[in-house]
């Protein structure tokens, strides 16, 4: 049988850790296909997880006697994530997809975006309580930004060893927003509060405002929260392409071709850090738990802020709108609309929820920059 | 890892305070600039 060694010698390099990682990869693929949970990210991550955990496959950089052999996925990681290029390019596409009009119509909605970042800072403290060092704790906390590119950007800038687990947690919980948010909202609000109606006046924003908005946001955030200048700049550049009215083909390309291409590469590149040796740790379970805490306390922060606001304003705000202040767009806004209509079929909260939701997009980037300002 | 580090937790609360203050401050400036833009450029 010795003559078959050249075919089967690698079988003996398989460990139970590899098998567990194949199961995790399979689970991610199943969630993507069967449950339609963030399939654009979870499917490449799932497949990549299986690929990088094939022993001696050479897709990730490995040490051999003759020196390191560079793997293609490690190469992609270094070229696109190690230098933050992919998350930034993806933000051009996201910026081109977002219509900020509901937010510009009612700028007060921006406050909910700020309040719903509470989960980030609460989770930072919780991660410190569980013994993570400051850089890792800050990287884990940014799962609460509910924003994949920001999570990857911050975790990578802080050189976190847990970037794989953080990315998986961020995208998984974004997909689980419809399961995570409603019970927390119901726990914190009364039926009467959930039935509060809010008036919406559309079409009151000028074209000049829509064009100036991305430029002014970039300047303000870039100066004050300078660490997020690149993130917010690329997001707003995408939005300027959309709103300027003279670059519709570039806007379409950013929204579709660019976003799809980068998402494809981002998912598979992340798996450079999904090897059994890096992923199968007790810390990974803790990170998944802390990610859930981050999403729950984002929701708590948004809802409670709206309730406090109602103590001081004449026109009451439906406190559920506060929960839409997280960056998970548009899932969170849709949930609030659904919950509102369940309580009162004539209650249309969607545009307010969308306003709060897109404000969360900007606020989460600001929060990411502030984390870097404070810690890096 | 599961040893709870209460001192680190208490020490990190400063980031919660500074972080939330920072986010609200930047957002407040943005809200103000939107009001100014909406006042300067009225929709036709």
Give the pLDDT mean for B27-32: 94
- Neighbouring C-alpha atoms within 13 Å toward the C-beta of A164: 28
Q: Residue B38 is nearest to which of A209, A225, A362, comparing CB atoms?
A: A209
pLDDT of residue B43: 67
Q: Residue B23 is nearest to which of A125, A137, A370, comparing CB atoms?
A: A370
CB contact under 8 A, A204 and B43: yes
pLDDT of residue A116: 95
Q: Does residue B22 belong to the interface with chain A, where contact is any CB pair within 8 Å?
A: yes
Binning pLDDT at 50, 70 and 90, where does residue B20 land?
A: very high
Residue A6 burial (10 A CB sphere; 0-12, 13-18, 19+):
exposed
pLDDT of residue A215: 96
A373 CA to chain B: closest CA distance, Å? 9
Query: Which residue has 């190690």 as its token pair?
Result: A82
Q: Residue A130 is nearest to which of B1, B24, B34, comparing CB atoms?
A: B1
Q: Residue B43 is nearest to which of A118, A137, A203, comparing CB atoms?
A: A203
Q: Does residue B15 belong to the interface with chain A, where contact is any CB pair within 8 Å?
A: yes
- Give the residue on A whose Cα is nearest the Cα of B35: A107
- B44 chain-A contacts, CB cut-off 8 A: 206
Q: Does residue B7 belong to the interface with chain A, where contact is any CB pair within 8 Å?
A: no
B8 CA to chain A: closest CA distance, Å? 6
Closest CA to A321 of A346, A297, A356, A289: A356
- B21 chain-A contacts, CB cut-off 8 A: none
For residues A241 and A250, the answer to whether their CB atoms sit within 8 Å is yes
CA distance A349 to A353: 6
pLDDT of residue A255: 94
pLDDT of residue A3: 67
Q: Residue A285: count other Cβ atoms within 10 Å of its Cβ.
A: 11
Beta bridge partners of B42: A205
A190 CA to chain B: closest CA distance, Å? 27
Closest CA to A23 of A276, A283, A281: A276
CB contact under 8 A, B1 and A107: no
Q: Does residue B38 belong to the interface with chain A, where contact is any CB pair within 8 Å?
A: yes
For residues A298 and A112, the answer to whether their CB atoms sit within 8 Å is no
A/B interface, count of CB pairs below 8 Å: 128
CA distance B29 to B44: 26
With a threshold of 0.90, tell me whether the complex ipTM lies above it.
yes
- Give the residue on A whose Cα is nearest the Cα of B29: A220
Tokens of A119: 């989960």
Query: Which residue has 């943005």 as its token pair?
Result: B30
Strands A67-69 and A62-64: antiparallel
Question: Which domains, and CATH codes, for chain A?
Answer: 11-55+69-375 (1.20.1530)
pLDDT of residue A1: 59
Averaged pLDDT in 10-residue chunks for chain A of 376 residues:
74 91 94 86 91 89 78 90 86 92 89 95 95 94 88 90 85 81 94 90 84 94 87 94 94 95 89 86 89 94 95 92 89 90 90 92 92 88
CA distance A302 to A184: 11
- B5 chain-A contacts, CB cut-off 8 A: 128-131
Q: Residue A130 is nearest to which of B4, B37, B38, comparing CB atoms?
A: B4
pLDDT of residue A56: 84
pLDDT of residue B11: 93
CB contact under 8 A, B9 and A125: yes
- Give the residue on B whose Cα is nearest the Cα of A372: B19
B7 CA to chain A: closest CA distance, Å? 8
């Amino acid at each position: 049988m010795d003559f078959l060694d050249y075919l089967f010698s690698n079988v003996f390099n398989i460990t139970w850790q590899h098998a567990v990682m194949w199961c995790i990869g399979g689970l991610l693929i199943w969630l993507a296909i069967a449950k339609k949970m963030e399939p654009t990210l979870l499917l490449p991550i799932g497949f990549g997880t299986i690929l990088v955990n094939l022993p001696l496959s050479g897709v990730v950089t490995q040490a051999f006697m003759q020196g390191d052999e560079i793997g293609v996925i490690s190469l992609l990681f270094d070229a696109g994530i190690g230098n933050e290029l992919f998350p930034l390019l993806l933000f051009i596409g996201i910026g081109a997809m977002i219509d900020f009009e509901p937010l510009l119509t009612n700028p007060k909605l921006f406050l909910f975006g700020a309040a719903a970042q509470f989960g980030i800072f609460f989770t930072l403290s919780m991660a410190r309580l569980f013994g993570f060092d400051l850089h890792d704790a800050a990287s884990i906390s940014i799962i609460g930004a509910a924003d994949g590119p920001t999570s990857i950007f911050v975790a990578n800038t802080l050189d976190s060893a847990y970037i794989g687990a953080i990315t998986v947690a961020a995208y998984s919980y974004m997909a689980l927003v419809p399961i995570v948010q409603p019970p927390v909202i119901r726990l914190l609000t009364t039926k009467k509060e959930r039935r509060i109606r809010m008036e919406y006046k559309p079409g009151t924003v000028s074209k000049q405002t829509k064009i100036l908005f991305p430029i002014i946001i970039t300047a303000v955030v870039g100066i004050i929260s300078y660490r997020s200048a690149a993130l917010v700049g690329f997001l707003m550049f995408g939005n300027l392409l959309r709103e300027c009215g003279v670059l519709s083909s570039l806007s379409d390309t950013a929204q579709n071709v660019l976003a799809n291409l980068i998402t494809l590469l981002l998912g598979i590149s992340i798996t450079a850090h999904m090897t059994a040796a890096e992923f199968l740790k007790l810390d990974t379970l803790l990170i998944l738990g802390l990610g859930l805490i981050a999403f729950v306390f984002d929701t708590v922060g948004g809802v409670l802020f709206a309730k406090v606001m109602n103590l001081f304003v004449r026109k009451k705000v439906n406190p559920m709108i506060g929960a839409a202040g997280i960056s998970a767009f548009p899932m969170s806004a849709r949930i609030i609309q659904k919950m509102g209509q369940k309580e009162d079929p004539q209650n249309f909260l969607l545009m307010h929820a969308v306003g709060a939701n897109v404000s969360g997009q900007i606020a989460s980037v600001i929060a990411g920059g502030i984390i870097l300002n404070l810690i890096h | 890892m599961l040893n709870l580090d209460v001192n680190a937790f208490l020490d990190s609360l400063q980031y919660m305070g500074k972080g939330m203050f920072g986010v609200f401050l930047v957002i407040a400036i943005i809200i103000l600039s939107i009001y100014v833009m909406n006042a300067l450029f009225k929709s036709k």
